[in-house]
Structures are given as C-alpha cells and as structure tokens.
Structure 1
C-alpha cells in the first residue's frame, strides 16, 4: 500500500502565482486541491494539470462558506485581485476576499488542524518612508484612497491571521510578496512588466506614470515560489519579505524592455496615480537568516523567459484589453 500524500489547498489557484504554486507542490509530492472562482484567474493556467492524478479543482468563491472533504495538512491563501486595474474595478470584492475569505480559510484551517500561509504584499508598506522596507516597518498607507481597498485588505489579513495564531494557537505563516513576474502573467492588467511588454509587442509607445524616477524590485516567479515554500515549511510565524532587492527606476526599466524586445518605441509620460509608491525594495535579511533563501534568477534571464512567454500568446490574447466583465462580481 502506497504512502498517503499530504494534502494542500491552494486558493487563487488559477492565478499567476497560484498556478505556479500548484506546480511546485505537485512536484514536491503533495496532493493539491486548487480553488478559484475565476474572477481574475484563468482556466488556461491549470489546463496542464487537468488529468494529473494528484490534482483536483474546485470552483468556489471563498467569501462563501468553504467545505473540503477529507483531511488537509496545509492551506495557502492566494485568492485576491492583485493588480490595480482589477481592484479599482472591484473594490468591494477585493475587501471581501481579504476579510471574509481570510476568515473562512482560518476557520477551515482550525477545523482541519492545518497549517495556513497567508499571501500578504509589499503594499502593506504603502508609499514607504523607510527604504528598503523591513518587516518591522509599519507602513504609510492612505486608508481612504483608491488603493486602500487592496492595502487595507492585506493589512487586515495579517491582523486576523495573528489573532487566530495567538487566540486559537493556529499554525500560521505570512509572506509579504514584492513585485513578482514570469510566465502566466496577464497582459494589460495594469502592472509594469506585462504593460510594457504588451505595448512593445503591439508596437505602441511605452507608458510611464510619473517622471519614471520611482523604483521597483522585480522577483522571478521561480524564486518567489521557492521562498514561499521554504517559509511554509519553516517554524517562523511572523511576516517575511520575499522579493528581489535589485532595485531599478521605471525609466531605466523601460529602456531595458525596449532593448530586450528589439523595438523602437518611444517612452511617453502620464500623471502618477494617487498614492502610487515611489520606492519599492525589500530588505530580505530575515529571509536569508531564517530560510536560507535569496533570489537566484537575475533580471536579464527572467525577463528573457517572460518575453518568450508573451511572444507565444495569440494575437487575440495580445490585443485583449479587458480581462472579463466584472459586473456580476460587483455587490
């Protein structure tokens, strides 16, 4: 009789990061239950797993009661709109998935005696006054600004997770994810890399919001997933930054994209959105110390792989400006 596989539930499984996590856990020998309601996820991201014996999928909105048959050893909560173009269109659903959804999953973890990892974000730091950002920095967030629906949803996630840990003794982990990129990102979702690459492939000028002096630090998806896995398997219960500290200005990054794609586009400038962070760079000293983790894939290699993925997309996908009709989700 074969060994019973440990079982993991991954919410947001059809999303960019969620689908890569499904791949990682199957590779590591787990039985994976993916969950998504496709509000921003894409069924194509999971097509390659449909017939895998150690994968099953449940279409479900986690803001509603969650029921899973059988035991669960781990839960990874990655269900949330994560790009500005999405959470500005569905602000209430973004807040609900961070509050009601997280509450439901923490309750499920308690019932199943499962370890749960919550996906937080560098956005909890807001437009930071400390640089680079360390885990003990409390942030500079505008709670009533347009970005507050995402920032505060994630901050609440962290608070309720620690409350369950302290009050119920729940086995919890919190990862603060910094800008991540790679294959399966969605073009035209408002984030820097897919926006630039989509514009380059369509022969459009690259759009920079602000003067381009604002900075970002980009982590390739394989490194991000490895860091998340190591954190889940660690004994550390407090938030940990997982990202690449190699910082670059948006203006310089646009020039890198033009060189990578071999296109001749100009760069055009538009006003900076309200509360858009001017600096974003993780301090990963803690991850190095407790996880022995740091990124391995440099930006040139990661961008090349990502560009190859975007080049392989159909003309229809390349020109699709809206992901889907959000009307049914607005409540």
Structure 2
C-alpha cells in the first residue's frame, strides 16, 4: 500500500552544503527531527554539474532516521542494484546522506557508478577512481563502476581520526564502500562533520530538467532493494537497525515502497513504480512503437505500430488471433 505524503516533492541541488533547501516548507517538515541546522530559509539554489548539463535532482522516496543522529558514531547501509525498464535512457540515483557527506550509486545511460559528494575539506587522497566533477566529489570508474542489476553494494560511514582510524571521539567522518567483489572495504572520502542528518533517498531523478534526462521506470519485479542498515553506538558497537518507529518514510508518485519488513533485524524494504504512473491501455487507440502502458498490473511496450487497438487484444490476455503487439516489461504496484 502506498504511503502517500501530503508534502510537495523535495528537491536537492548537489552542492557543498546542505544547509539550504530549495523547497523549505517541505524540507522543514521532512527533517523536523534533525534540528534547525538542517534547513535555512531564503537561500539560493546551486545546481549540480553533470557532464555538460546543470541538473537539479528530485527526491521522491526518502527514509529518515528518527533517532538522535548525534548519538550515532557510524552508519552502514546496503543496497541491491535495480533494473530500470528504460535502462538505456534513464538517469537516476540511489543514495544517502550522513552528516554532510553523500554517497550511493548513480545511473546514466552508460550504466551504474558509485559516487560521493560533499567532501568540503578537499578531495586529495580520496579514491583514485573517482572524479571531481562536482568539486567536492563525483562518480567513480574502474572497479566502482559497471554495476549490474542484482549486484549488492555496501556503504559505511564512521567517525574517525585524520589517519582514517575509526574513533568514536574522532573529529572527522570517513566513508567506505564494499563492492562485495572480494576487495573488502575501499576508502572513498573523509570530511569534517557539519550538517546533522541521516537519511536515504531511495530514488532521485532529473526529469524536471528536460526530456533528455528520462525518469527511471522501475519494475516491481526488479525493484530497488534496501537490504540492511546498521548504526554504530557511542561505545563503538555496530547494531542492526529495526522497527517501525526507526524511520520516517516519505513517498511521492510515481514511486512507492513495497514489501516493507520493519520487524526484521535488520529491516528491509523495496521501491518501484506505481501502475498509475503510466497511462492504462485502452481499446480503440493508436499506439506508436515503444509506447509504454499498464494493464493487468504489468508494464507493456508496443512492439509495432498499432493503428487501432482491438478490444479483444489487451496486452495481458489477447485473443488467440491477435497479433503479437505488446512486450511485457515487468510488474508495477
């Protein structure tokens, strides 16, 4: 079941500080547990530079830790890479913010890449495979790219010293990634802790920038999967995160959470596209090749020009004489 929020869509400009949010009213409600440092009214929005485009991403699903972030000394979060129905054209991000440092996986038509952003004290010594296209971070190549649907990636934040030694009293924040390829934890970045926040953006897209940045279409058969989260206590112990009151969930169409298991330890959930996000198939219509519709709880794509859709030829249950007009792409919620 969809947990529809009355908040307006939250947007984020990838920038050196998260102190200013472009839609302050929504952000204040969403981040009310984080304290006043998270939001400041009246600031200008700086848009991120991605390739040759200046893009402002939009969050449609977020899961915010409701506890006292200041009582944590680290955060671990594991994702399973989804498969986009429109893989060859979609732009999208799955990631998280802990204090002022963002990380996650970034999708372009070229594929999936690990990324980080917000390292404001300099990127010298950070992972050599990562570029600095946003100044304080960027996307990564080499073994941190080429992710495939079903791959699992773990990100770990820890309070640390300048020597990258984990320390519950350390003045810095260290960020690592485990590609689960046998290489173990790889250091990404290190920064001073500033803005206090701890939340995941389960999906970010750039559709508002222009049609060339296609919004991800995510089948509920191959959804975004949040596999586990752990937090580090002030005593230095890692513990599973679990329970219905541990997170505050925000969702905005066309995406929806599904298969939440908040009683499990660690808790898990998935996210994908709502059926209502696309037009429903109708008889008597003209459909051009490549058109996407929903019917019978499924996504369908027109395989050919359909000059008149016969009422006996719905995608999910066509009569035996109907031409093979539609290809099933996956399920929706």
Question: TM-score, normalization: structure 1?
Answer: 0.29
Question: TM-score, normalization: structure 2?
Answer: 0.28
Looking at CA atoms only, which structure, 1 or 2, has the larger radius of gyration? 2
Larger relative helix fraction = 1
